[in-house]
Amino acid sequence: MKLEGKVAIITGAGGGIGRAIALRFATEGCGVVIAGPTKEKVDRVTAEIQAAGGRAKGSVTDVADESSVKQMVDGTLEQFGRIDILINNAGVAGPTKLIHQLDRSEWDRTMAINVTGAFLCAKHVLPHLMDQRSGRIINITSIAGLRAYAFRSPYCASKWAMIGLTRTLAEEAGRYDITVNAIAPGPVYGPRIESVIRNRAVEMNLSYEEMEQQYVEPTALKRMVDEEDIASTTLFLCSSEGRNITGETITVSAGYRLS
């Protein structure tokens, strides 16, 4: 029980990586707040954890809306009385277009959720971590935050920005014994990467299979990673075993080649 008695807010926890982290944390004794914009998904994951005997609270939250974020944090304290961990996992894939084809609204929405959302959550959680002089923040970025990514400029820029935010938060929060790290997944099996591959294949005039190979071929292990791989790394960083790791970006990518 590596997180016995701890409480974690996990954004984007209604499915995918966020759900995998929430399930894993709950099995390790952690109370989890399942935050996401869709009530049906939030309720489903919350019920799944509670049915297995875990502690969970659902929170319908728009991370790009500061009042919604504040309500999520206040609700966590009301339910659990403390916050120990923040997982900034909420994110959108954004459009698949060349930069001159983008609408301003597409750029703004991607940035609002992927970057501003992480900032707002950290802004409202950090005072509580500072008061107790301990805590963990994990920002889920992407391998796209470490390389160029044609046709995906808003997503790519937002994930680079999350790494800069991570390093700065680590510097600011370290004196309070708060660690802040980023995890950069490579392509992760699931509906999101399938959608990304389909859209990119259309833009590049390739078949789905040809496009999929372009995501697998650069990896040393010749495969994508699983959601549970990200959850395991997140657990390590949030446990006592990761107490002296901060300001880092850890790739979980099956050895994705960056150049």
Residues 6 or more apart in contact with residue 186 via CB below 8 angstroms: 143, 219, 224, 225, 251, 252, 253, 254, 256
Is the CB of residue 200 less than 8 Å from the CB of residue 96? Answer: yes
Residue whose structure tokens are 């919604």: 68
pLDDT at 76 over 80: yes
Is the CB of residue 87 less than 8 Å from the CB of residue 18? Answer: yes
Assigned architecture for domain 7-188+226-252: 3-Layer(aba) Sandwich (3.40)
Beta strands 178-185 and 85-88, pairing class: unpaired
pLDDT at 259 over 80: no
b/e sequence 19-44, b meaning 16+ C-beta within 10 Å: bbbbbbbbbbebbbbbbbbeeebbee
Q: How confident is the model at residue 81 (pLDDT cuts 50, 70, 90)?
A: very high
Q: Of 155, 189, 215, 256, which is the active-site residue? A: 155
- Per residue in 183-199, pLDDT tens? 999 999 999 899 999 99
| Known catalytic membership, residue 155 | yes
Is the CB of residue 225 less than 8 Å from the CB of residue 253? Answer: yes
- By the 10 Å C-beta count (0-12 exposed, 13-18 middle, 19+ buried), 1 is classed as exposed
Give the ranges where 103-185 is alpha helix by DSSP (H): 104-111, 117-132, 153-173
- Per residue in 16-67, pLDDT tens? 999 999 999 999 999 999 999 999 999 999 999 999 999 999 999 999 999 9
**Tokens describing residue 234:** 């997140």
**Tokens describing residue 188:** 């992760």
- Per residue in 103-151, pLDDT tens? 999 999 999 999 999 999 999 999 999 999 999 999 999 999 999 999 9
- Per residue in 162-181, pLDDT tens? 999 999 999 999 999 999 99
Q: pTM, whole model, 2 decimals?
A: 0.96
Task: Name the residue ranges covered by the structural domains of the chain.
Answer: 7-188+226-252
